[in-house]
Structure 1
Amino acid sequence: MMRFFLVFLLFLPYLAFALPALEETELYTKKATDCHEVDLSTWQHPIRAVFKKADIKLKRAQLCNADRYPIFTVELPYDPTGQTKSYFEPLYWKIHAANGKWPYAMVATSDNLVLYISYSARNTVVMSYEQYHL
């Protein structure tokens, strides 16, 4: 068993190259078009208060798809793929309300993840994610 673990460790650095770069993720190749930067020094939006209260560091914001699909580049305090549903589920609903009920993406630099968040007609959060490498 230890031998397999050592082989795994040997190939671990090469696994990162199997992941796409951020620019090559589905976010920037299929979901988002015509993106433009938001000047965070002057941008005032209810989403900022939601992020601040949740201890999320907003590093960058872009508006895409005729300004109806925001991409928030953030540093999250917790791993969104872990056992943190009690933190993220209410957060997604607060963002939903602050964002005018539009779907959005979060680029979590803390975890090298792109989170795709939307909401179903049955009023449930639909979240998927994609890993990327630096």
Structure 2
Amino acid sequence: MKALIIDDRKRISESLKLLISQSGYFSNVSTVTNGIDACEEIKKDRYDLIVLDLNLPEMGGKEVLQYIERLYHLEERNKENYPHIMLISGDLDLGKIDNASQINVEQVLTKPFSAKDFNHKLYAILENLNGEIIAA
């Protein structure tokens, strides 16, 4: 499986990349630092998991979510392959987070968070992947 991490803070991206890789379920984990690059990656490749920061430079996380929605629904990309999305945010505006998370987001995690918190959310997604339980 493939994962994409979209966060403008390198330290966070690298930490998340390590945690996702350590799960043993992802053979490829890529990172990008802004919404424009994220949309380009999502258009050219299929990802099983997308971890998306809400606050990004150049194009925000909400706009990336809307792009994914259009790509999979309006352009008729296979809806069964819709990526599993985890939204992460340091924004304390819960209304803003809730508004963004209305668009096919499976998990929401507020920064700062621990590796344990992230893994809990990641394994919740893995348990539901393709309707099969693949993680204990």
Would you say same fold, with TM above 0.5? no
Give the helix-richer structure, 1 or 2: 2
Which structure would you say has the larger RCO, counting Cα contacts within 8 Å and 6 or more residues apart?
1
| TM-score w.r.t. length of structure 1 | 0.29
Give the strand-richer structure, 1 or 2: 1
Choose 1 or 2 for highest CA Rg: 1
| TM-score w.r.t. length of structure 2 | 0.29
